[in-house]
Copies of this chain bind each other. A is one copy, B any other.
Amino acid sequence: MRTALVIGTGLIGTSAALALKARGVAVHLVDHDPDRAATAAALGAGTDAPPEGRVDLAVVAVPPAHVAASVAAAMRAGAARAYVDVASVKGGPRRELTQLGLDLTAYIGTHPMSGKERSGPFAASGDLFEGRPWVLTPTRDTDTEVLNLALELVALCRAVPVVMDADAHDRAVALVSHTPQLISSMVAARLREADETAVRLCGQGIRDVTRIAASDPRMWVEILSANPGPVADVLAGVAADLDGTVRALRALDSADEAKRAEGASGIEDVLRRGNAGRERVPGKHGAGVPTAYEVVGVLISDRPGELARIFADAERAGVNVEDVRIEHATGQQAGLVQLYVEPSAAAGLSEALRERGWALRP
């Protein structure tokens, strides 16, 4: 790939442009707002001058609702040898393009899984995609050369290509991203009416479950509007579990012992299925953390450098810290640092930290 045209210079478009530019591709930038394209160019993402003739790859980086029209316009202008979009849903745009009667051998829908709190070209970075999954949704009509150009884009952005069917992609993100967002918001919403004393009892569990409830509502309305069916299907499954769980809890509240036993077994069932599902979450925060690692708890003050000293002491002890959580307790300035380490390393680390004067909590 020698030349590319990035259509839409928001966070994703500008980040891709920066990555391509850094690897020697001549990048042209265009946006419905010429100022934004000029900004991306000023940030070093390429030129906002139009390309002379056809480029190798057009990267359409516009919101889901505008993907089909943008791809169609670029195709009709003969702008590129290959066309990709990078929107967070894939089934809808493909169906719209098919309805427009376009030849889709030169098109692949893609989705780089790189979230970000901020948007726009100023938030962009050439390493946004590094090590992240980048979904590609070729069909059997896709030209091999087009697939290879898309794979080259992913490689130049140092992402990890994952090939999926477009509709399977939409169901997958409904499951692993869109549903957790809505459920987190619903649990957090329950806290609105809680009294101050109840809120003081919040621990690490509810903190983690509601962390993403702080996300931007407008961005999420856009995302969910483009994928409502698959998300509703997953939520319907949660709703069925929820109804069953409420019934089990009511049975647990009964005076009848057989009913109570039935309720307990219903509750245990959903908790066990939760264990099994959690096992499938990959990564350090996945199934490994609570079971495979031991936690060493260290009490710290809020002075700068406490963490640096803990980690330096852990290194001195020859222990690799696999994960860490920091928690501040109600009514105290002091915090608790939870170090996740291999079980075989826990006792040695505890001893080493105690020797160096740290107060531990098991």
Interface residues of chain A, those whose CB is within 8 Å of chain B, are: 113, 115-117, 123, 125, 127-128, 130-133, 135, 160, 162, 164, 168, 171-173, 175-177, 179-192, 194-195, 197-215, 217-218, 220-221, 224-225, 228-229, 231-232, 234-239, 241-243, 245-246, 249-250, 252-253, 260, 263-264, 267-268, 270-287, 289-291, 295, 299, 302-305, 307-312, 314-315, 318-332, 334-336, 359-362
Contacts and interface: CB of A to CB of B under 8 A. Distances in A.
A217 B312 contact: no
Given A117-B295, A131-B336, 16 more contacts: A128-B361, A131-B331, A135-B201, A160-B332, A175-B194, A177-B203, A177-B205, A184-B209, A188-B278, A199-B280, A211-B285, A213-B277, A214-B290, A232-B249, A307-B321, A307-B324
Given A201-B135, A204-B285, A239-B246, A271 B221 contact: yes
Contact of A304 (B132, B184, B203, B319): B319
A187 B192 CA distance: 22
B214 A201 contact: no
A198 B131 contact: no
Contacts of A113: 201, 203
Given A235-B249, A260-B225, A283-B328, A175 B160 contact: no
Question: Interface centre among A181, A229, A328, by most B CB within 10 Å?
Answer: A328
Contacts of A132: 329-330
A183 B177 contact: no
A245 B253 contact: no
A209 B206 contact: no
Contacts of A115: 203-205
A190 B198 contact: no
Contacts of A321: 307
A299 B360 CA distance: 29
Contacts of A192: 273, 276-277, 280
A248 to B, nearest CB: 8
A219 to B, nearest CB: 9
Given A172-B201, A326-B324, A281 B191 contact: yes
A335 B130 CA distance: 10
Contacts of A330: 131-133, 160, 162, 282-283
Interface centre among A229, A285, A291, by most chain B C-beta atoms within 10 angstroms, is A285
The 5 closest A-B pairs by CB, nearest first: A185-B274, A131-B329, A172-B198, A188-B277, A191-B277
Contacts of A299: 127, 130-131
A279 B191 CA distance: 9
Nearest to A211: B208
A309 B362 CA distance: 25
